[in-house]
Amino acid sequence: SVRPAPRGPARARLLLLVCCPTFRSSFARLFGGEAAEQWRFAGGSTEPPAPPQEAEAEADEGPLLAALGWFALLRVEGRAEASKGPRLSVAAAASLPKGAPLLACGSPFGAFCPDIFLNSLSRGVLSNAAGPLLLTDARCLPGTEGAGVFSADGELVALVAAPLCWRAREWVGLSLLCAADALLRAAAHALGRLGSQADARLLAALLPPDGGDPAAAPTEHSAAWVAAVLVECGSVWGSGVALAPRLVLTCRHVAPREAKRVLVRPATPKSSPVWGKVVFATQDTSPYDVAVVKLEENLKGIPFPVLASHFHEGEDVQVVGFGAFGQTCGPSVTSGILSAVVEVNDAPVMLQTTCAVHGGSSGGPLFTGSGELLGIVTSNTRDNSTGATYPHLNFSIPITALEPALDQYRRTGDLQPLQELDRPGEQVRVVWRLQRVPAEPPRSKL
């Protein structure tokens, strides 16, 4: 077993405090400026976590938040021991593609009850990255600041910088990470400046080789999420998915029918933005919140997704959307399972997932693990009585409900089948109003 013997608390001394300058600059770029007031980060204290609304209000007060992006290097006194397990190795964070599986290992509530909470595990994916600033959808709690986040093959990828984020009063469901390689590089440099050459060499020895292995570079160009696009329509923006070189599917509330022109920005920086027009959007009365955009030019370098024909509750899925950051650092990938498939007359009419979905993700694609397109996201959940938003319960339109009409349009340019989406049955409307479908029509007692 690699499990070490139980240990009581050991004294330690501070060697240095260090922050990664690139992390700080990425943080300022993503969360600073006009967006600064919208973002709140919460976590760290020895107190139990407050409910989201209260925690948001208190988010700026914790000492851990004042030091967001700063990490402490310590040396345990008199308790060093020979390693009995595998040597810690550090991943080159830049080599990980979005969607890569991650495992966070931390202690919720910090030193509170470590006998119960020490090294709790949480699984997720690499949701987004801006240099050494990483985001994961692995669920982390206050007290897990500083926790290690590992790749599936056991390499240390990052440390948790802030476990909880809110944007515009909505819990985002992502945790903020600092890449371990950049952080250790900064710490080794600092140790060298402070004259601790031996420790600097020790840290440097943990690092992956400079430059990395070209073969290990992210293979994002072939990933399914590359079909996700940012859709800008005046001051409104949202997500969409490219189904063909000139065909983008999104939501009506992102690209309404009265919109004359929309700008579609592909997820890969190498692809250029393309103008398009809304050729079809469902009426406001339709429960299917769908719009179809025809582009003026071909999208290039995008692998168009295979459309799913079946849905399996419980299967691993991923949502891709520009919800968290718009075009600032590309789409975010969040993972979960297909939690429900709601059918009317044996036909799927609504999909639910446990992926974290935020404002701005509307129109974004929902993929299976193998990259098949299951549907497009339209909404997450809000409790109007409390104002709480639940990003992990969200709703998507099954692609099977759209595919015949889209196929007809692609082949013939005929919009008539799409217009049928304005006239779904009453049962479909009831489902999307989140009303229970009665098992039997109520009978009159008269």
Partner 1 sequence: MGRRWDPALAAGEQAGCVVSARGAERPGAEAEGPWSCSGVLLSRRAGLVLCHGGIVAPFLRMGAAALQPGAGPPFLGADSCRDDLRLHVQWGPGRGPGAQAGPRGALCTPPC
Active site residues: 253, 289, 362
Contacting partner 1 within 121-150 (CB under 8 A): 121, 123, 143-148, 150
Using the contact rule CB under 8 A, the part of the chain among 200-208, 226-234, 273-281, 333-341 near partner 1 is: 200-208
Note whether 190 binds partner 1 by CB under 8 A: yes
Q: Which is nearer to partner 1, 102 or 366 (CB)?
A: 102
Q: Which is nearer to partner 1, 75 or 310 (CB)?
A: 75
Smallest gap from Cβ 9 to partner 1, in A, equals 4
CB atoms within 10 A of CB 49: 18
Note whether 35 binds partner 1 by CB under 8 A: no
Beta-strand relationship, 373-382 and 365-368: antiparallel
User: How many residues bind to partner 1 according to rule CB under 8 A?
Assistant: 97
Among 42, 100, 174, 203, binds partner 1 (CB under 8 A): 203
Paired strand residues for 389: 382
Q: How far apart are CA 242 and CA 394, in angstroms?
A: 21
Query: Which whole-number Å values give the CA distances from 440 to 347, 350, 437, 443, 444, in the listed order?
Result: 19, 21, 9, 8, 12
SS3 per residue for 309-368: CCCCCCCEEEEEECCCCCCCCCCEEEEEEEEEEEEECCEEEEEEECCCCCCCCCCCEEEE
Using the contact rule CB under 8 A, the part of the chain among 100-108, 127-135, 266-274, 412-420 near partner 1 is: 100-108
Note whether 2 binds partner 1 by CB under 8 A: yes
Q: Is 258 exposed, middle or buried (0-12, 13-18, 19+ CB in 10 A)?
A: exposed
Using the contact rule CB under 8 A, the part of the chain among 2-10, 130-138, 385-393, 403-411 near partner 1 is: 2-10
Note whether 216 binds partner 1 by CB under 8 A: no
Smallest gap from Cβ 262 to partner 1, in A, equals 37
Q: Which is nearer to partner 1, 10 or 57 (CB)?
A: 10
Among 52, 99, 106, 321, binds partner 1 (CB under 8 A): 106
Q: Is the dihedral of CA 85, 91, 97, 102 positive or negative?
A: positive
Collect all residues with Cβ–Cβ distance below 8 Å to 145 and sequence separation of at least 6.
Answer: 43, 44, 64, 160, 161, 162, 163
Q: Which is nearer to partner 1, 143 or 348 (CB)?
A: 143
Smallest gap from Cβ 51 to partner 1, in A, equals 14
- 213-245 burial code (b ≥16 CB/10 A, e <16): eeeeeeeeeebbbbbbbbbbbeeebbbbbbbee
Q: Which is nearer to partner 1, 55 or 431 (CB)?
A: 55
Contacting partner 1 within 14-33 (CB under 8 A): 14-21, 24, 28
Is there a contact between 393 and 412 (Cβ–Cβ < 8 Å)? no
Contacting partner 1 within 163-182 (CB under 8 A): 180
Q: Which is nearer to partner 1, 158 or 243 (CB)?
A: 158
From the list 325, 308, 326, the residue with the least C-alpha distance to 317 is 308
Note whether 65 binds partner 1 by CB under 8 A: yes
Note whether 110 binds partner 1 by CB under 8 A: yes
Length of the chain: 446
Q: Which is nearer to partner 1, 156 or 428 (CB)?
A: 156
Contacting partner 1 within 247-306 (CB under 8 A): none
Among 111, 217, 415, 437, binds partner 1 (CB under 8 A): 111
Among 36, 57, 152, 415, binds partner 1 (CB under 8 A): 152
Note whether 79 binds partner 1 by CB under 8 A: yes
Paired strand residues for 167: 39, 170
Among 33, 36, 38, 47, binds partner 1 (CB under 8 A): 47
Note whether 6 binds partner 1 by CB under 8 A: yes
Collect all residues with Cβ–Cβ distance below 8 Å to 351 and sequence separation of at least 6.
Answer: 311, 338, 340, 341, 342, 366, 374, 375, 395, 396, 397, 398
Among 30, 44, 224, 288, binds partner 1 (CB under 8 A): 44
**Residue whose entry in the numeric block shows the structure tokens 């994916």:** 125
Among 33, 36, 54, 74, binds partner 1 (CB under 8 A): 74
Q: Which is nearer to partner 1, 109 or 171 (CB)?
A: 109
User: Helix or strand or coil: residue 141?
Assistant: coil
Is there a contact between 99 and 333 (Cβ–Cβ < 8 Å)? yes
Note whether 243 binds partner 1 by CB under 8 A: no
